[in-house]
């Protein structure tokens, strides 16, 4: 059974082509025209062991917001499609990841219920320009778009950190590791991992 998906999204603000394979090896081919976002998506692929191809462009002469958010929307949609009926997966995953001064924890539930709890970023983080173009506020937007469109519950907590680059990257790596655990097959799980019989 192939757990993969390829999707496109075209609007007046952005153009997105994205493919994902949940049973990959962490290979990434990412170009969004937003360098720091490319960096984060590459980290997500590497640490979740998904194969990810993203070709995106948009009105970055105005702001990176549309391109980043629209890419995250398509990523969430592709995850939902690739998961199929969610048979035989672990469903839950959690990870705590350090990056020098930063420490982030993520917990994922492939629940079918989209929900995000995102806390702990230091005051002013949302206004900081990372790489001179990517505002810290976009981190929450990305997690919101992924969780809402993938139909998953995500908790991300920054436990410590001073450097905005390190904080953002630790959040993505923690999410990636938790996501990896949640979507992996568990040989002991029979069918859908829910007493309801559906996720």
Q: Mark 32-62 as b/e (b = at least 16 C-beta within 10 Å).
A: bbbebbbbbbbbbbbbbbbbbbbbbebebee
* Residue-range domains of the chain with CATH: 4-183 (3.30.230.40)
Mean of per-residue pLDDT scores for the chain = 97
Q: Is the pLDDT of residue 1 over 80?
A: no
| pTM of the predicted protein model | 0.97
- Residue 53 and residue 42 in contact, taking contact as beta carbons nearer than 8 Å: no
- Give mean pLDDT, residues 31-44: 98
Q: Is the pLDDT of residue 105 over 90?
A: yes
- Residue 38 and residue 32 in contact, taking contact as beta carbons nearer than 8 Å: yes
d(CA 169, CA 42): 10
Between the CA of residue 173 and those of 41, 43, 86, 87, what are the distances in Å? Answer: 10, 6, 23, 25
pLDDT for 113-166, tens place per residue?
A: 999 999 999 999 999 999 888 999 999 999 999 999 999 999 999 999 999 999
What are the backbone dihedrals phi and psi of residue 77, each rounded to the nearest 5 degrees, phi first?
-65, -40
- Residue 102 and residue 169 in contact, taking contact as beta carbons nearer than 8 Å: yes
Residues of the chain above pLDDT 70, percent: 99
């Amino acid at each position: 059974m192939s757990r993969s998906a390829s999707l496109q999204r075209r609007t007046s603000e952005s153009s997105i082509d994205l493919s994902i394979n949940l049973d990959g090896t962490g290979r990434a081919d990412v170009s969004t025209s937003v360098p720091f976002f490319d960096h984060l998506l590459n980290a997500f692929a590497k640490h979740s062991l998904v194969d990810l191809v993203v070709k995106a462009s948009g009105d970055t002469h105005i702001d990176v917001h549309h391109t980043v958010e629209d890419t995250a929307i398509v990523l969430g949609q592709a995850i939902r499609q690739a998961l199929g009926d969610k048979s035989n997966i672990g469903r839950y995953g959690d990870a705590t990841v350090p990056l020098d001064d930063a420490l982030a924890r993520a917990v994922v539930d492939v629940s079918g219920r989209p929900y995000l709890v995102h806390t702990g970023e230091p005051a002013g983080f949302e206004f900081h320009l990372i790489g001179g173009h990517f505002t810290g506020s976009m981190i929450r937007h990305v997690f919101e778009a992924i969780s809402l469109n993938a139909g998953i519950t995500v908790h991300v907590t920054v436990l410590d950190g001073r450097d905005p680059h390190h904080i953002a990257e630790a959040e993505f790596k923690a999410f990636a590791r938790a996501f990896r655990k949640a979507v992996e097959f568990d040989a002991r799980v029979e069918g859908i991992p829910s007493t309801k019989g559906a996720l």
